[in-house]
Structures are given as C-alpha cells and as structure tokens.
Amino acid sequence: MCAAAFGQVDVARVLLACGADVNFHDKRGGTALDIANEKCEDEMAEFLESFAKHCA
C-alpha cells in the first residue's frame, strides 16, 4: 500500500514477485490500485492494472 501511495513501482514489483496479493483490501476496503489512483500515481496504477490482468 505504501509503495502504491508513493509511486514506487520497483518496490511493488518485488513485493508482488514475493507473493503479495495485488487484490488485498485495507480496513476501509481499498486496494493498492485505489490508493495509486487517489494519489495520481499513474505509472503505478497502470502497472497494478496490468499485473492484475495477467494474474487473473
């Protein structure tokens, strides 16, 4: 979630490669993609959308 908020695509890539759940929901129901969109982190949002599509 923090990687998404700060646009750290490389960090997100490593976390997801280690098994992090791209669809994890925080206590308010948001995902990393929601946070990336809220923070206008477009590169991160595109990365997360692409990753989620390929893992579905």
Report the chain (56 residues): mean pLDDT per 10 consecutive residues.
95 96 95 96 96 86
C-alpha distances (whole Å) from 47 to each of 27, 28, 29, 42 are: 23, 22, 20, 9
In a domain, 24, yes or no: no
What does the mean pLDDT of the chain come to? 95
Q: What is the pTM of this model?
A: 0.90
* Burial bucket for residue 17 (CB in 10 Å: 0-12, 13-18, 19+): exposed
pLDDT at 45: 97
Q: What is the domain count for the chain?
A: 1
In a domain, 41, yes or no: yes
Domain limits for position 12 = 2-19+29-55
